[in-house]
Chains A and B, each alone.
Chain A
């Protein structure tokens, strides 16, 4: 016996569940296939989520027991060297009241489970512990369903939404999109570090509901194009560090050693002091950027979220792009259902919708950013070290006059990164984000 439905969705992450909510709301028979034991059991993000785009799916999410950890009121960026670093922070009272839940932290094991339950309440069927192993095609070669690893596990569907994440053996097998090259993904490892609620609030100077996000660039990634992060949860901290997968291979770095060194960094160590590690995870971030977004639709299928490389590395936005692309895919499917046409041409309006949304607009705006980081390795090697040495020298009060200090700092910076290279760095930085 083969089960059938109108829409089959592969993956119960933010993209798949968003689509399922929109479709089920309109009474469309929707089945979500999830390989984990429960939605979220395989999922991970740095740790923040965005209220605006979640409200686009569940308008009153804050009143629906959404498992929110802390509301972010302050964003910090550090440019770290081995023994210290620069810190830039922005805090704003508007994020405490009027724009509360603009950004908040979540644990995805709990959040995705909650989110999937909202889709179920609307009438979607979420089938867990079920791995999509192949796509079914009819005699004409058109997609007609999903094969799973369950006994009698074929699921027929009129249209399939592939929301199966960046690491997709299904894509590698069926070729619905190309497998990413190592230089187009970042490998990140994450630890959950438990601390008492009041200690976290005190260390980060926030109330018990509020929190801080910290992104950390510099020598912490040991020369890799990558980033570290520290986010406050209710009773734990999320500590993340990652780098380009090709860089990991070339520099022969071990992820589990990298995160230990990161924990020992003086600016990090004091914040996680006495914390107890509770979980260790690893995942890819899609970092190919605009140029490497695959074709996101075809006869009988659409691709949303990480699987479609929809990730803005500069602003660490991915979960929201997943939710919005899932929503737009669902709206496309609703239109196609009305026309009873799931051809490539009919589904191509998905691309138009994405182009009109911030998803492809932002990715296009920052299309040069991945290449900029690849080209200017000094951002992660010499530059943080020489800038830190300069700051250390200028801030040391030792009887040496400031003009002497200034000229020797300049000399030292230029000896590591020649002036022309610095000028090119600044120009390319501006160009990559303009």
Chain B
């Protein structure tokens, strides 16, 4: 079962605006060698674009916070989604 199918099982109340933001995309390109956000995020929020930029698809975020403290450059501005938005557990 791939990650897209896993996220499809969940219920999300998606907000119009993103709760996470890469502060300085240049840092990811020029300074960050390992780019751990690309694999340690359990929802695969972060993906590599063809031009080398990192895209953040906040919609499927599971709100664990791993990218927030796992980014070696601390280059991810991370808030919780607004009250009532984001992932909504059915079983927990």
Contact = CB atoms under 8 A, between A and B. Distances in A.
Contacts of A280: 6-7, 9-10, 62
A37 interface: yes
Nearest to B64: A282
B53 to A, nearest CB: 20
A21 to B, nearest CB: 20
Main secondary structure on B side of the interface with A? loop
B62 A282 contact: yes
A111 B86 CA distance: 20
B63 interface: yes
Interface string A113-133: 000000000000000111100
A107 B84 contact: no
Interface residues of A, number: 53
Contacts of B44: 254, 256
B92 A40 contact: yes
A152 interface: no
Given A179-B69, A277-B1, A281-B92, A35 B42 contact: no
A137 interface: no
Contacts of B43: 256, 282
B36 A249 contact: yes
Contact of B9 (A149, A181, A278, A283): A278
Contacts of B82: 131, 149
B64 A167 contact: yes
Nearest to B19: A169
Interface centre among B2, B87, B92 (most CB of A within 10 A): B92
B3 A256 contact: yes
Contacts of A248: 36, 39-40, 66, 70
A248 B89 CA distance: 24
Given A167-B63, A169-B78, A253-B39, A278 B90 contact: yes
A109 B89 contact: yes
A109 B90 CA distance: 6
A252 B2 CA distance: 17
A165 B50 CA distance: 37
B47 to A, nearest CB: 12
A3 interface: no
A182 interface: yes
Contacts of B84: 35-37, 128-130
B54 to A, nearest CB: 15
B89 A181 contact: no
Given A187-B40, A189-B42, A256-B3, A169 B90 contact: no
Interface string B49-92: 00000000000001111101110000000111111101111111
B64 A37 contact: no
A359 to B, nearest CB: 23
Contacts of A130: 83-84
Given A149-B82, A277-B6, A277-B9, A245 B89 contact: no
Given A35-B80, A36-B88, A245 B66 contact: yes
Given A42-B63, A282-B42, A111 B92 contact: yes
B69 A180 contact: yes
Contacts of A35: 80-81, 83-84
B78 to A, nearest CB: 6
B91 A112 contact: no
A38 to B, nearest CB: 8
Interface in B3-41: 3, 6-7, 9-10, 13, 34, 36, 39-41
A192 B92 CA distance: 8
A150 B84 CA distance: 11
Contacts of B9: 277-280
Interface centre among A43, A45, A181, A282 (most CB of B within 10 A): A282
A122 B9 CA distance: 36
A44 interface: yes
Interface of B: 1-3, 6-7, 9-10, 13, 34, 36, 39-44, 62-66, 68-70, 78-84, 86-92
Given A148-B83, A252-B34, A279-B91, 9 more contacts: A42-B86, A45-B92, A130-B84, A149-B82, A150-B83, A245-B40, A256-B42, A278-B91, A281-B87
